[in-house]
Amino acid sequence: MKTYRIHALVCAGTQCLAAGGNGFKDALVEELKQHGLTEEVLIVETGCMGSCQLGPRMVVYPEGIMYTRLSPEDAKEIVEEDFLKGRPVTRLLWKQDEKQFLTLHETPFFAKQTRIVLRNCGFINPEDITECIAQGGYESLARCITEMTPKDVIKIIKDSGLRGRGGAGFPTGLKWELANKQISDTKYIICNADEGDPGAYMNRSVLEGDPHSVLEGMAIAGYAVGAQKGFIYIRAEYPLAIKRLEIAIKQARMSGLLGKGILGTNFSFDVELRMGAGAFVCGEETALINSTEGKRGEPRKKPPYPVESGLFGKPTVINNVETLANVSVIIEKGADFFRQFGTDKSPGTKAFSLVGKVNIAGLIEVPLGTPLRTIVFDIGGGIPEGHTFKAAQTGGPSGGVIPAKHLDIPMDYENLPQLGAIMGSGGLIVMDETSCMVDVAKFFLKFTVDESCGKCVPCREGTRQMLNILEKITSGLGTMEDLDLLEKLGNVIKQTSLCGLGQTAPNPVLSTLRHFRDEYIAHVKDKVCPANVCSMKAKK
Amino acid sequence: MEKIKSIDELRRLKEQSQAFLKTRQKDVKVKIYISVDKEENTNASRDVLLAVLDELKERDFSDFQIIEKAPMGSDIKEPFMALERDDLVIYYSNITPNMAREIIVSHAIKGQIVSDWVSKRSNL
Amino acid sequence: MSELLNVKIDGKSYQFHKGDTILKACKQIGLDIPTLCYLEGISEEGSCSLCVVEIKGIKTLQRACITEVAEGMEITTNSEAIHEARKTNLELLLAHHPLDCMTCDKDSDCVLQDLAYQFGIKKSQFLDEKDTFSCPIETAWDTNLFIQFDPQKCILCRCCVGACENQAVVEAIGIAMRGYKSVVSTPFNLALEQTNCQFCGACVQACPTGALIEKPRIGKGKIFKFKKTETVCAYCGVGCNLALYKDKNDKLVMARGVTNKEPNRGRLCVKGRYGYEYVNSFERLTKPLIKEDGIFREASWEEALDYTANRLLEIKEKYGPDSIGVLGSARCTNEDNYIIQKFARAVVGTNNVDHCARLCHSSTVTGLGKAFGAGAATNPISDIENADVMFIIGSNTTETHPVIAQFIKENKKKRGAKLIVCDPRNTDIAKYADIFIQHYPGTDVALLNAMMKIIVDQELTDKEFIANHTEGFENLLKALENFNLDDASKITGVDKKLIEEAAIVYAKAPNSMIFYTMGITQHHVGVDNVLSIANLALITGHIGKEGNGIDPLRGQSNVQGACDVGVLPDVYTGYQMVTDEFARKKFEDFWKVDLPKNTGYAVSQFGDLTLEGKLKAVYTMGENPMVTEADVRHVKESLGKLEFLAVQDIFLSETAEIADVVFPAKAAYEKSGTFTNTERRVQLLRPARNPSPSVKDDWKIVCEVATRMGYSMHYKDEEMIWNEIREITPSLKGITYERLEENSLQWPCPDEAHPGTKILHYNGSFKRPNGKALISGVEFHPPIEIPDDKYPFILTTGRMLFHYHSRNETRRVKVLENFVPENFVEVNPEDAEDLNLKNKDMVKIRTRRGEIVVRVKISTKPKKGVIFVSFHFSETNANILTINALDPEAKIPEYKACACAIEKF
Amino acid sequence: MESEKIPAVDKEIRKWGTKHESLIQVLHGTQESLGYLPEEVLTYIAKKMNVSLSKIYGVVTFYNFFKLTKDAEHVITTCLGTACYVKGGEAILNALCNRLDIKPNEITKDGRFTVRTVRCVGCCGFAPVMVVDGKDIHGKLTPETAIDILEKYM
């Protein structure tokens, strides 16, 4: 077997590529050629490594030295100094608070994280199944189908307390159990990879960095519920994730880890990709089913729930990417291992994309229940340029804001709703005092107005009216009655919308009204935007 | 890519694949330190490194990492290499490519320290 | 019976069936839940959000329309939160809806308006005046004649889309765009008439607001000024229940399908929806006319009736009763028709009584009569949903029986049933087929024999059924013995494999149902064709149970009934043979008169008989043979030779024009009485308007003539006639007007406790004397005329959706006439290229009998070598071309195939 | 039907089959080849896949991804995801539109450029972000750098 003394892991996540990662990689390849090192140094293109704001990044093993903000010009120096002489190029190292960190593990960004879902992201070549297998990939599946009954599998998942990471937090084991009990010749597993919340890219990172973990999770789910076919419904906006998934599926099929008679057992399971086409509502599971069936992505009535009658009218389990990526770890290490992270009711970890006004934006994974303060200040390095934390927004357009006074709130499925926010899929947007909360609410509402499927009245017409009122307020024409009307209308939309999108669409408005009512009042009464964002047409 | 037909085959493949990933792992049997401190020794050190790599390849030994880091002060006579095995670090200095090959065969692979050339030893 | 569940609604305990929605449950206990978007079976998406209720334990409000009751459920239907939610959602809808009820045609026929009233919304708090009252944008509905769409009034409830998708199964319109930009649209906003829309208007009927409306209704008044009458459609044999609305001037202004009633369950086609207008026409005959010196003059009823009676008596005296021919009509009621055949037999004393069933389904009556002992459709229309395979042969169902086509498409779409279509033309229904066989006109026996050969060879026959319920199978085997599939392929012009596939699919399915129409019957081998179809059903056992059988789709509103009440030369009512001594005796006793013993002549023989001098007078009720008979020039020539021709009609038809006397009659929508539809369903007609006081019921005119001829005929009303029919007709005995007021009934219905008969020959008990069906050996005979060098094309004729019969009605319906104002000939693109023809070129079509000049429509519908012309247009009458080659038994002419030439004009 | 467009459709239909559920995938592939979805192509797909044209039209107009008209030579997509939004994505959008003298979603008169918005490209760490021609992602923009990038394509 060929061995390389240096493994240079270049992040090939979308963000690092966007930041010019490809240019750096090409320069590196060229330099290696120039110095005759191609036999000694292996370049591995990995998925996202996390601290995206510092990209493009590269980690050089065996030492694990992490280089940040790379440009093509840096390749020569790295090769000559580090690869040839073993001298780290210090100017490219991670610097924070006047400290310099040689490896990722030493950084405060990494220190408070626990990586289960992201265990392989940034560490393996996602386009090579053997690297995944080396990390224990597919061993859980193998154990499930050779040593365990579907009921055993469901029991472990139930015991682990794993909850759906797509937003609502429905217990995964229970969903599987319900699907397992359905009597049907055909059942389906759908992986919801239609990560739609603006400002969220956890799922994409997993798919780009460790696609096999999702495929394995799907196959285990298939075994548990009695399904032989899985679909991954993925946003068309994620071309790299699609490409890596296509490669992963192909390799898994060729290795006999997907397809007929997996590992010589009589369990068969195969996975197909279905591309979405740009509709946020397709993240809603019944809309997603319609879209997978080639129709307009409009939600269906529930009940029947997908576990009873889903894709093509058959029992269907829909799990999100992150949920599925947890599965093989739980099988491998047991429910108790999983339960040592997180809280009693929200066990395990959660990936967040920490973005916005924060020093180190990026992809993180922390135990559930980690206080918001730890995430923003310890991991994210606080607010840049001397600004102050004003609020964090979770759950995207369905979510709400957490104001500064609640910075110590544990981030889990129980505590967030108490503040009118939701966990959501993991988008975490940090805002400082330069953000106007009315404007932020308007931003989200504009989003839902655009993305409403238009089927039911409260969502189609109601959100539009709410937006009208917000526009009135942000241009200084609002009245105090408008604030009441917003609340009243918001409640009717929540109460009577057909699907989750509509039922949560008013949340950003209701939540900002709750925590930042004074800002609304300033817009209405004083005709002033305290953050100086809104162009108030009418001045007092 | 061939079809994996049983859980045992999967485990075998896992072991094989892990060997390939040794460079990235924490635990390896042998860590080989080769570093250059003085610019004039660059070429000689590089010859040692290439000899080491060649010998490891020849012997089909993969449970190692090569770390380009000087674990000692600057007074060491280069070319230099150190070998970490069984919780013990052995330093060899002033070596030639041929010496390096022997160190690999004898010490790295068989676990027998080439005592004649040892310049220093330390427990981890 | 399904499980009963205990449910509390507003604090009270009830029991409901499992599967019932909350909406249905509330309805059952008399609770009114507001809905805008819910239409059972059409639109059940829960989009309007008005029917929301509270369910204990669920945080959000739930939609009553799509939520099923569950055991122990506690429902509140009238809390403040519910009221608030409903009102708010209603106001959201009213934010963009113009508040122009005072000028809206749908005023007080509008659910949105009702709800706004109910919730006391004067003006929506969200009203966007600019949006609401700005000029509406151009829509795809602007250029058509039938339907208007006002997008501003549209509340996106999707009822119209549901109706188009689930009722019409056309999918011409859909929801396009997304979110608040959503709009009901045709694809690419194409003009509606450029889509596959068939203008059935189901969308209009489904619309709860003024967004969609029938264009002819606009400006005719508001619904509370109209009077509504439920009656039966007067067009095809489906017999749709429709509600007609008249204004204060006694003009019909609107039609709606009657929901929840068989056979149409609320559906209509374009003619049902719009085709009532002719009734209002100023061209209606109002006075009796007598021809003097070739010119009509108005006459009093007395004079015209006396004149007619005298002339008929004279001719009868001079030439004998058989010199008079009498025509009933498939467009008249059972009562009218009973009277006219009684008039022929009892008053004139001849069995020369016939009607246009001769020209459409006489082969069926003869053929199925022979095979099964009864010549009517075996299974009800509602049974379509039980069929796994639907086999259509020789039927352009979408255009001729639109509502049945809708049910067929629905069964395919919703239940995945397979559809096989065999037709020389690639018709609309063929486009929906899983297997489409495009065979040459007149090669049906070859095709069907080929199918049966495959079925027999592959042992797909139902041996038990053949053994227990049939006889004559050996004759069929013999006929098939030397039959060669390659020959069949050559004769029909169809790939062998396709025939095989069709045969296997039909034979193997648990339930297979056959539909056919004129493509089968209108051949000189019409009876053979029908017998072959019967053979196919019999050898596979696909008859005598739900979802099986043979449904010949009858073409006219009461063609089944006219046959049932004996307007045929060989039978009295209920198919009692005139040659049967016992039957004749019964009728003689009943009518108290001696009756002729010989079978009469068929209408298709009248022409030749006249020329031979055997027929001297014809009395016609509502028929128009001058357009509809084959080789019509020959008919014209012969009818001109008659000594006397009397016509009862509503318009001065082509036949009336050459009559000696014309009586103005009531139109079907002005009549009481009964129609019997294609599935033997007897339905009650109710007058939807009062005609001019000077027109009379058809039966009344005949009675008056009869009485004047010395046979007293007096009836109080239609019911009295019907009761007389019942008395002498065992199969109709149990059907009383009183029962019909409640619900329609299918014959046979022998007594008043009998529920009627949905399926004939149930469990293989056939109506033939020995209870067994007859399988016949049928051999293929080509059409009388086959193409040659001089006449190289095959001409086939038929109907189109927008016109009817000789167009006497539809030409007087503005929207229909304007939509298809002239005849055309369909030419295959390949032929068109060979002939150097372009769309809209004028061409001359010649046959051995005559020629017409007509416009070209290049179309992929006809097969290469075949052209198609509709028969509706007297100006360019296809029947100038057709051949009067008659089936030897059924005497039906071969309308469907003759040789012709076509050249650029 | 313009003959050169048929093979692209046929290829997709061969790949995905004619079952209704393949519609969106066939549309994706077709658009990938042709750049947009012309009416006659959709009519052809309707016939081939036995789906009504109104259904296809409904699907095509539902999803942001599908285009019924030919696109500009260069499509610049500015991200208005939350992260980009709070970091000034709208200013980037306005700068580009002003430079090209068009409104969002309009195509320049010469047909060379259009500026669209997208709800998130998932490059939140580099906000604000824009994407040129669906592949070149540029992050940490200011209105000035955005214009500089645009100029390179002009």
pLDDT tens, residue by residue, C574-617: 999 999 999 999 999 999 999 999 999 999 889 899 999 999 99
The answer to whether A332 contacts chain B (CB < 8 Å) is: no
pLDDT tens digit string along A408-447?
999 999 999 999 888 888 899 999 999 999 999 999 999 9
Q: Report the candidate in C513, C244, C479, C500 with the shortest Cα–Cα distance to residue C377.
A: C513
CA distance readout (Å), D123 to A202, A357, B100: 11, 14, 48
Cβ atoms within 10 A of the Cβ of C131, count? 12
User: Domain check: are D45 and D99 in the same one?
Assistant: no
Please give the pLDDT value at position A85.
83
Contact A292 D127 (CB under 8 A): no
What phi and psi values does residue A350 have, to the nearest 5 degrees? -140, 135
Contact C374, C368 (CB under 8 A): yes
The strand pairing partners of A10, in sequence order, are A45, A58
C266-277 average pLDDT score: 95
| A123, A138, A254 member nearest B24 (Cβ) | A123
Angle value at C-alpha A275, between A272 and A279, nearest 5 degrees: 145
User: Domain check: are D31 and D97 in the same one?
Assistant: no
What phi and psi values does residue C113 have, to the nearest 5 degrees? -65, -45
CB pairs < 8 Å spanning A and B? 105
Contact C688, C241 (CB under 8 A): no
> How far apart are the C-alpha atoms of A346 and A368, rounded to whole Å?
6
Tokens at B99, concatenated: 């010496």
Contact C178 D52 (CB under 8 A): no
Q: Report the candidate in C90, C180, D57 with the shortest Cα–Cα distance to residue A448.
A: C180
pLDDT band at C757 (very low <50, low <70, confident <90, very high): very high
C655-677 average pLDDT score: 95
Contact A3 B21 (CB under 8 A): no
Residues 29-88 of chain D whose Cβ lies under 8 A from any Cβ of chain C: 39, 42, 52-58, 61-62, 68
Contact A86 B60 (CB under 8 A): no
Q: Report the candidate in C882, C905, C903 with the shortest Cα–Cα distance to residue C796.
A: C882
The domain spans of chain C are: 4-93, 111-280, 308-359+558-752, 362-552, 793-904
B45-60 average pLDDT score: 90
Please give the pLDDT value at position B46.
87
> How far apart are the C-alpha atoms of A369 and A206, rounded to whole Å?
21
Please give the pLDDT value at position D3.
63
Helix (H) / strand (E) element for C587: namely helix C581-591
User: Domain check: are D48 and D85 in the same one?
Assistant: no
D131-148 average pLDDT score: 89
C466-494 average pLDDT score: 92
Q: How far is C198 from chain D (nearest CA, A)?
A: 14
Type of residue found at C545: K
Q: Where are the beta strands (DSSP E) in C404-474?
A: 418-422, 435-437, 470-471
The answer to whether B69 contacts chain A (CB < 8 Å) is: yes
Helix (H) / strand (E) element for C365: namely helix C362-372
> How far apart are the C-alpha atoms of C421 and C427, rounded to whole Å?
9
Q: Report the candidate in C397, C419, C393 with the shortest Cα–Cα distance to residue C406.
A: C397
pLDDT band at D127 (very low <50, low <70, confident <90, very high): confident
Sheet holding A58-61, edge to edge: A41-46, A6-11, A58-61, A65-67
Query: Helix (H, G, I), strand (E, B), or coil: what is residue A527?
Result: coil
Residue D67 within a domain: no
User: Domain check: are D52 and D79 in the same one?
Assistant: no
Task: Check the CA dihedral C423-C426-C432-C436 and report its sign.
Answer: positive
Quick one: closest CA in C to A299, which residue? C45
State the best of D20, D42, D54 to mutate against chain C, taking most chain C CBs within 10 Å: D54
C148-163 average pLDDT score: 94
Question: Is chain A adjacent to chain B, meaning 3+ CB pairs within 8 angstroms?
Answer: yes
The strand pairing partners of C279, in sequence order, are none
Quick one: closest CA in C to A297, which residue? C178
* A80 pLDDT higher than 70: yes
pLDDT band at C816 (very low <50, low <70, confident <90, very high): very high
User: Domain check: are D149 and D93 in the same one?
Assistant: yes
The answer to whether A454 contacts chain C (CB < 8 Å) is: yes
> How far apart are the C-alpha atoms of C564 and C683, rounded to whole Å?
14
Q: Report the candidate in A459, A454, C186 with the shortest Cα–Cα distance to residue D58.
A: C186
User: Domain check: are D58 and D100 in the same one?
Assistant: no
Q: Report the candidate in C190, C157, C153 with the shortest Cα–Cα distance to residue C175.
A: C157
User: A429 contacts in D (CB within 8 Å)?
Assistant: 82-83, 86, 124
Residue D1 within a domain: no
User: Domain check: are D122 and D149 in the same one?
Assistant: yes
pLDDT band at D146 (very low <50, low <70, confident <90, very high): very high
pLDDT band at D6 (very low <50, low <70, confident <90, very high): confident
A534-538 average pLDDT score: 77
pTM: 0.92
pLDDT tens digit string along D11-44?
999 999 999 999 999 999 999 999 899 999 999 9
**CATH assignment of C362-552?**
3.40.228.10
Q: Report the candidate in C553, C557, C555, C552 with the shortest Cα–Cα distance to residue C333.
A: C557
Please give the pLDDT value at position B45.
86
Please give the pLDDT value at position C713.
94
The answer to whether B26 contacts chain A (CB < 8 Å) is: no
Topology, domain C793-904: Barwin-like endoglucanases (2.40.40)
First-to-final CA distance of chain D: 34
User: A462 contacts in C (CB within 8 Å)?
Assistant: 88-89, 92
> How far apart are the C-alpha atoms of C874 and A336, rounded to whole Å?
89
The answer to whether A349 contacts chain D (CB < 8 Å) is: no
Type of residue found at C624: N
- Beta strands C512-516 and C550-552, pairing class: parallel
Chain centroid, CA B6 distance in Å = 34
Type of residue found at C611: L
Question: Is chain C adjacent to chain A, meaning 3+ CB pairs within 8 angstroms?
Answer: yes
CA distance readout (Å), C477 to C99, C456, C463: 73, 8, 13
| B3, B6, B67 member nearest A62 (Cβ) | B67
Helix (H) / strand (E) element for C28: namely helix C22-28
On the CB side of C713, CA atoms within 13 Å amount to 30
State the best of A133, A135, A212, A268 to mutate against chain B, taking most chain B CBs within 10 Å: A133
CA distance readout (Å), C831 to C119, C493, C500, C860: 64, 16, 29, 10
| D21, D83, D138 member nearest A199 (Cβ) | D83
Query: A274-288, A488-502, B12-26, D116-130: which has the minimum mean pLDDT?
Result: D116-130
Helix (H) / strand (E) element for C794: namely strand C793-798
Judge if the upstream peptide bond of residue C34 is cis by omega within 30 degrees of 0: no
> How far apart are the C-alpha atoms of A428 and A422, rounded to whole Å?
11
Contact A201 D120 (CB under 8 A): yes
Q: In whole numbers, what is the pLDDT of chain C averaged over residues?
A: 93
Please give the share of chain C, as a percent, with pLDDT higher than 90: 86
Please give the pLDDT value at position B124.
61
pLDDT tens digit string along A192-240?
999 888 888 899 999 999 999 999 999 999 999 999 999 999 998 888 9
Quick one: closest CA in A to B10, which residue? A139
Q: How far is C434 from chain D (nearest CA, A)?
A: 11
- Beta strands C183-185 and C212-214, pairing class: unpaired
Question: Is chain D adjacent to chain C, meaning 3+ CB pairs within 8 angstroms?
Answer: yes
User: A357 contacts in D (CB within 8 Å)?
Assistant: 86-87
Tokens at A275, concatenated: 């591309």
> How far apart are the C-alpha atoms of C158 and C43, rounded to whole Å?
7
> How far apart are the C-alpha atoms of B76 and A485, rounded to whole Å?
80
Longest dimension (CA), chain D: 51
Please give the pLDDT value at position D83.
84
Secondary structure letter of residue A459 according to DSSP? I
* C636 pLDDT higher than 90: no
> How far apart are the C-alpha atoms of C838 and C828, rounded to whole Å?
11
Please give the pLDDT value at position C752.
94
What phi and psi values does residue C391 have, to the nearest 5 degrees? -110, 110
> How far apart are the C-alpha atoms of A307 and A182, rounded to whole Å?
8
DSSP H helices, C165-246, are 202-206
Query: Helix (H, G, I), strand (E, B), or coil: what is residue C129?
Result: helix
Q: How far is A250 from chain B (nearest CA, A)?
A: 10
Whether ipTM exceeds 0.90: yes
Crossing angle of helices A437-451 and A507-515, in 10° steps, is 170
> How far apart are the C-alpha atoms of A78 and A70, rounded to whole Å?
10
Domains and CATH numbers, chain A: 6-107 (3.40.30.10), 129-339 (3.40.50.11540), 349-432 (3.10.20.600), 437-526 (1.20.1440.230)
- Beta strands C673-676 and C681-685, pairing class: antiparallel
Q: Which chains have 3 or more CB–CB distances shorter than 8 Å to chain D?
A: A, C
The answer to whether B13 contacts chain A (CB < 8 Å) is: yes
Please give the pLDDT value at position A538.
62
User: A122 contacts in B (CB within 8 Å)?
Assistant: none
> How far apart are the C-alpha atoms of C570 and C576, rounded to whole Å?
8
Helix (H) / strand (E) element for A430: namely strand A427-432
A155-172 average pLDDT score: 93
Residues C244, C247, C253, C257: what is their CA dihedral angle, to the nearest 10 degrees? -20
* C139 pLDDT higher than 80: yes
Q: Looking at the domain covering C308-359+558-752, what would its CATH class be?
A: alpha beta
User: Domain check: are D78 and D145 in the same one?
Assistant: yes
User: Domain check: are D49 and D90 in the same one?
Assistant: no
Q: Report the candidate in A102, A35, A93 with the shortest Cα–Cα distance to residue A67.
A: A93
User: A42 contacts in B (CB within 8 Å)?
Assistant: 23
pLDDT tens digit string along C73-88?
999 999 999 999 999 9
CA distance readout (Å), C121 to C96, C525, D4: 14, 68, 58
* B74 pLDDT higher than 80: no
DSSP string, A343-364: -SSSBSEEEEEEEES-SS-EEE
> How far apart are the C-alpha atoms of C206 and C155, rounded to whole Å?
13
Question: Is chain C adjacent to chain B, meaning 3+ CB pairs within 8 angstroms?
Answer: no
Higher pLDDT, C684 or B37: C684
**CATH assignment of B7-123?**
3.40.30.10
Contact A3 B56 (CB under 8 A): yes
| A296, A453, A489 member nearest C88 (Cβ) | A489
The strand pairing partners of B65, in sequence order, are B31
Please give the pLDDT value at position C728.
94
pLDDT tens digit string along A238-277?
889 999 999 999 999 999 999 999 999 999 999 999 999 9
Contact D56 C187 (CB under 8 A): yes
The answer to whether C179 contacts chain A (CB < 8 Å) is: yes
What phi and psi values does residue A166 have, to the nearest 5 degrees? -75, -20
- Find where tokens 């937090």 sit: A169
pLDDT tens digit string along C190-206?
999 999 999 999 999 99
Quick one: closest CA in D to A440, which residue? D86
Quick one: closest CA in C to A481, which residue? C125
The answer to whether A5 contacts chain B (CB < 8 Å) is: yes
- Find where tokens 């070429």 sit: B43
Cβ atoms within 10 A of the Cβ of D118, count? 19
How is domain C111-280 classified at the architecture level of CATH?
Answer: 2-Layer Sandwich (3.30)
| Burial group, residue A373, by CB count within 10 angstroms (0-12, 13-18, 19+) | middle
CATH entry 3.10.20.740 includes domain C4-93: yes
**Could you list the residue range(s) of the whole structural domain that residue D33 is in?**
6-62
Q: How far is A431 from chain C (nearest CA, A)?
A: 29
| Burial group, residue A156, by CB count within 10 angstroms (0-12, 13-18, 19+) | buried
C157-169 average pLDDT score: 95
Cβ atoms within 10 A of the Cβ of C853, count? 12
The strand pairing partners of A450, in sequence order, are none
Contact A256 B5 (CB under 8 A): yes
Residues 89-118 of chain B whose Cβ lies under 8 A from any Cβ of chain A: none
Please give the pLDDT value at position C136.
67
C869-888 average pLDDT score: 88
Please give the pLDDT value at position C661.
97
Tokens at C100, concatenated: 């122009």
User: Domain check: are D51 and D79 in the same one?
Assistant: no
Contact C600, C373 (CB under 8 A): no
**Total domain count, chain D:** 2
